[in-house]
């Protein structure tokens, strides 16, 4: 949404080192701009809400600043001990880093640590119950951590939470979805955890 992008811009202008990766919805927007025949795919997967946030009904009216930012997003970020990627990697590929479609869409993959230099993969893309996420954060099983708890799915058991993972010590912050007005939310619902593992 425009509000999320505006907040990212605000943080960057305030001097924060913000790095983001491209996801499937960002790619859907870029596709709709470059090929009008793909607009319906974009529209059916949240694109109409995106357009509403810009007070328009066409992708052509989204200001250049937003499109340029999205178009410049990398498909993954490599850190000393981690790879950050939206969905994951295709470990069946001879070159993990050339399969961009998998980085945007893959849901299930068999982890091969040798192919990604024994670094932990931090990803999202598919909603995972909080209990499973916490297990992977603490145990670091398979050396991959999915931090997508399906914030928009607050009606589902074990979901509806936004998760922030501190890569320095694997502590994490959880925030229940505030958009669901049926959910009893307050600042007291916010919780901070320190990984003791």
pTM for this one?
0.86
Query: In this predicted model, what pLDDT tens digit does every residue of 158-185 receive, in sequence order?
Result: 899 999 999 998 888 888 888 754 444 3
CB 73 within 8 A of CB 21: yes
Only one residue has tokens 């997508």, namely 148
* DSSP 8-state code for residue 44: I
* DSSP 8-state code for residue 125: S
Query: In this predicted model, what pLDDT tens digit does every residue of 56-73 receive, in sequence order?
Result: 999 999 999 999 999 999
Contacts with 185 (C-beta within 8 Å, 6 or more apart), sequence order: 176, 177, 178
């Amino acid at each position: 949404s425009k509000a999320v992008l505006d907040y990212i811009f605000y943080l960057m202008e305030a001097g924060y080192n913000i790095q983001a990766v491209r996801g499937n919805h960002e790619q859907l927007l870029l596709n709709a701009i470059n090929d009008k025949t793909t607009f319906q795919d974009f529209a059916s997967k949240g694109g109409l809400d995106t357009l509403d946030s810009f007070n328009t009904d066409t992708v052509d009216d989204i200001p250049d600043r937003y499109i340029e930012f999205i178009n410049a997003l990398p498909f993954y970020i490599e850190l000393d001990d981690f790879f950050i990627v939206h969905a994951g990697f295709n470990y069946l590929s001879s070159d993990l880093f050339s399969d961009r479609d998998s980085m945007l869409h893959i849901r299930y993959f068999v982890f091969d640590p040798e192919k990604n230099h024994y670094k932990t993969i931090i990803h999202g893309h598919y909603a995972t119950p909080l209990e499973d996420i916490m297990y992977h954060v603490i145990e670091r099983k398979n050396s991959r951590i999915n931090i997508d708890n399906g914030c928009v799915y607050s009606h589902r058991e074990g979901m509806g939470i936004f998760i922030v993972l501190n890569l320095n010590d694997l502590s994490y912050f959880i925030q229940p979805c505030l958009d669901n007005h049926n959910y009893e939310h307050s600042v007291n619902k916010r919780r901070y955890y320190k990984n003791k593992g």
